[in-house]
């Protein structure tokens, strides 16, 4: 009996150190739900700020880091020639190298690097967009021009690689490939583009195509999203014209709903809350759907209108306690709106652009931890706050990193942090840091 208890204790101890919940192995966390499930996190920041355990240089990139099994993975772009001019209507041609970097989560030491030559022809061309996805001992990255790469997570050795633009006769959308790759079971789901191949499922170990589905030009930016409804898994693919539900095993279309944002900017991941599903984008386009219980399908509860709902672009909103919390891209305010009808109960720009004036695409990334939220602002501030139907209640703020990019004439950092090992891992275009948030 004593040996059994000892073994159980060792297993629990091992899981607490290496378990999935303590990692942040992909965009928005282990379940892609923007929830940080670790405990023992500080209630507020010290007066002089929490300790920064390490800093390591990186180069250009919008892509957030991933953290798994004691390693930090991040992608960047080393520009060798060309000028970056952040114009929404024009592309920049750059020459340089796209890189996948791996650091020790404990010390920040660089463990390995994988790089390749890549010419960019994009708007807002300062680096890759997609957070790495770590699963089954491998790390998957998607570059801004469509380089889909699978590497061993421990040594960075190439397993397989695809140039999606060549293999599928497509081009990168104007703002680059942005759909964070999704691994579920043996399949890797990716937003690709080209005729009949907006969504493609690959064998995650070999890179072999399993199925392709949908046509839309361009392909959009929304990451593949897995939900469960009607007793089955459904893969959501939002192209610039419609929100689609697919059978994850075959790519068969289960249902589609027209949803066409302005400028072909289908970006944020649709959010599920029970039998409800919400998606929205620029142009005040949004819909709240009710998922059918008996068979795959949906019915519309409401469509967004001016000064109602939340129309997010850079940051995916959160549905919680009967509310939608998210940033409206039109005026840059964090908004609290009712799920039942989209009615706005409050809004504030304090956690986004830091001021009272309208800021186009003002951005803050939201992560729930226990009964409060960790917010990372485009100003480089890490914020602890309570969000409720009554409003925004800021508890503590720490200026973590400098905004090194630019948007609409103001300095910004538009990269989603990772939360793991009781820390926040945050990057800009010059460095990646680990901020200790342990209690």
pLDDT at 4 exceeding the cut of 80 = no
Backbone angles phi, psi at 263, to 5 degrees: 55, 25
Query: Is the separation of the CB atoms in 378 and 364 below 8 Å?
Result: yes
Instruction: Compute the half-sphere exposure of residue 28: CA atoms within 13 Å on the CB side of its CA.
Output: 22
pLDDT score of 17 = 37
Q: Where are the beta strands (DSSP E) in 221-343?
A: 225-229, 232-238, 242-246, 253-258, 271-273, 276-281, 285-291, 298-303, 318-320, 323-328, 333-338
Q: How confident is the model at residue 356, as a pLDDT? A: 72
Q: Could you tell me the CA-to-CA distances from 21 to 66, 89, 116, 284, 351 in Å, in that order?
A: 13, 41, 32, 35, 27
Q: What is the mean pLDDT of residues 16-21?
A: 40
- The pLDDT value recorded for residue 307 is 86
Longest Cα–Cα distance in the chain = 70
Q: Which two tokens stand for residue 429?
A: 């275009």
For 176-187, the pLDDT digits (tens) are 999 999 999 999
The edge-to-edge listing of strands for the beta sheet with 364-369 is 364-369, 372-377, 381-388, 391-399
Residue 18 has pLDDT above 80, yes or no: no
Average pLDDT score over residue span 265-281: 97
Q: What are the residues whose beta carbons fall under 8 Å from the beta carbon of 325, sequence distance 6 or more?
A: 310, 317, 318, 319, 334, 335, 336, 366, 373, 387
Who's near 8: CB < 8 A, 6+ residues apart? none
Cα 265 to Cα 286: distance, rounded to the nearest angstrom: 12
Q: What is the pLDDT of residue 11?
A: 41
- Note the pLDDT tens digit of each residue in 284-298: 999 999 999 999 999
The DSSP letter of residue 41 is B
Tens digits of residue pLDDT in 104-114: 999 999 999 99
Rounded distance between C-alpha atoms, residue 18 and residue 105, angstroms: 12
- For the chain, what is the mean pLDDT? 94
- Across 40-164, where does the E strand assignment appear? 52-57, 66-68, 71-81, 92-104, 110-122, 133-135, 138-142, 147-152, 158-163
pLDDT score for 385:
98
More confident residue, 86 or 12: 86
What is the pLDDT at residue 14?
Answer: 42
- Banded model confidence at residue 12, pLDDT cuts 50, 70, 90: very low
Is the separation of the CB atoms in 416 and 64 below 8 Å?
yes
CB atoms under 10 Å from CB of 295, counted, come to 11
Q: What is the pLDDT of residue 335?
A: 97
pLDDT, tens digit, for every residue of 208-263?
999 999 999 999 999 999 999 999 999 999 999 999 999 999 999 999 999 999 99
The token pair at 343 is 């009615």
pLDDT (average), residues 392-398: 98
Select, from the ranges 87-91, 406-410, 415-419, the one with the highest average predicted confidence (pLDDT). 415-419
pLDDT in tens, 124-175: 999 999 999 999 999 999 999 999 999 999 999 999 999 999 999 999 999 9
| Tens-digit pLDDT profile for residues 56-71 | 999 999 999 999 999 9
Q: Assign 326 to helix, strand or coil.
A: strand
What tokens appear for 293 in the block?
A: 């219980």
Confidence bin at 357 (pLDDT 50/70/90): confident
Q: Report residue 66: phi and psi, to 5°.
A: -120, 150
- Confidence tier at 328 by pLDDT (50, 70, 90): very high
**Higher local confidence (pLDDT), 238 or 17:** 238
The sign one gets for the Cα dihedral 427, 430, 436, 437 is: negative
d(CA 354, CA 417): 19
Q: How many percent of the chain have pLDDT more than 90?
A: 91
What's 23's DSSP letter? -
* pLDDT for 6: 42
> Residue 329 region, left (φ>0) first, then alpha (ψ -120 to 50), else beta?
alpha
d(CA 275, CA 58): 42
**Prior bond to 218 cis, omega within 30?**
yes
pTM of the model: 0.94
pLDDT band at 89 (very low <50, low <70, confident <90, very high): confident
Q: Classify strands 182-184 and 158-163 as parallel, antiparallel or unpaired.
A: unpaired
């Amino acid at each position: 009996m004593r040996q059994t208890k000892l073994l159980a204790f060792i297993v629990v101890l091992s899981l607490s150190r290496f378990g999935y919940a303590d990692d942040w192995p992909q965009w928005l966390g282990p379940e892609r739900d923007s929830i940080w499930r670790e405990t023992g996190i500080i209630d507020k920041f010290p007066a002089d700020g929490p300790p920064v355990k390490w800093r390591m240089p990186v180069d250009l990139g919008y892509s957030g880091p991933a953290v798994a099994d004691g390693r930090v993975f991040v992608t960047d772009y080393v520009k060798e020639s060309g000028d970056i001019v952040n114009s929404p209507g024009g592309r920049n041609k750059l020459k340089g190298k796209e890189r996948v970097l791996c650091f020790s989560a404990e010390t920040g030491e660089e463990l390995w690097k994988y790089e390749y030559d890549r010419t960019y022809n994009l708007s807002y061309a300062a680096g890759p967009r997609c957070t790495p996805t770590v699963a089954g001992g491998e790390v998957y990255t998607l570059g801004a021009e469509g380089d889909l790469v699978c590497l061993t997570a421990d040594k960075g050795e190439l397993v397989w690689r695809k140039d999606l633009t060549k293999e599928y006769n497509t081009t990168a959308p104007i703002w680059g490939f942005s759909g964070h790759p999704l691994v579920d079971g043996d399949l890797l789901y990716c937003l690709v583009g080209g005729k009949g191949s907006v969504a493609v499922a690959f064998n995650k170990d070999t890179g072999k195509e399993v199925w392709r589905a949908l046509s839309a030009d361009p392909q959009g930016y929304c990451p593949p999203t897995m939900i469960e409804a009607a007793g089955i898994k459904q893969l959501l693919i939002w192209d610039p014209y419609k929100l689609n539900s697919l059978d994850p095993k075959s790519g068969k279309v289960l249902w589609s709903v027209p949803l066409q944002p302005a400028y072909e900017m289908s970006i944020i991941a649709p959010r599920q809350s029970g039998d409800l599903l919400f998606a929205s984008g620029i142009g005040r386009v949004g819909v709240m759907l009710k998922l059918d219980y008996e068979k795959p399908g949906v019915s519309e509860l409401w469509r967004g209108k001016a000064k109602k709902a939340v129309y997010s672009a850079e940051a995916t909103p959160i549905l919680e306690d009967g509310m939608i919390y998210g940033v409206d891209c039109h005026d840059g305010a964090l908004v609290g709106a009712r799920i039942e009808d989209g009615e706005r109960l409050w809004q504030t720009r304090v956690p986004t652009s830091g001021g009272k004036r309208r800021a186009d695409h003002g951005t803050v990334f939201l992560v729930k931890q226990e009964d409060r939220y960790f917010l990372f602002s485009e100003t480089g501030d890490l914020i602890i706050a309570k969000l409720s139907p009554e409003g925004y209640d800021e508890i503590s703020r720490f200026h973590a990193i400098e905004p090194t990019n630019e948007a609409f004439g103001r300095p910004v950092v538009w990269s989603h942090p990772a939360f793991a090992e009781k820390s926040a891992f945050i990057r800009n275009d010059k460095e990646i840091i680990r901020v200790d948030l342990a209690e």
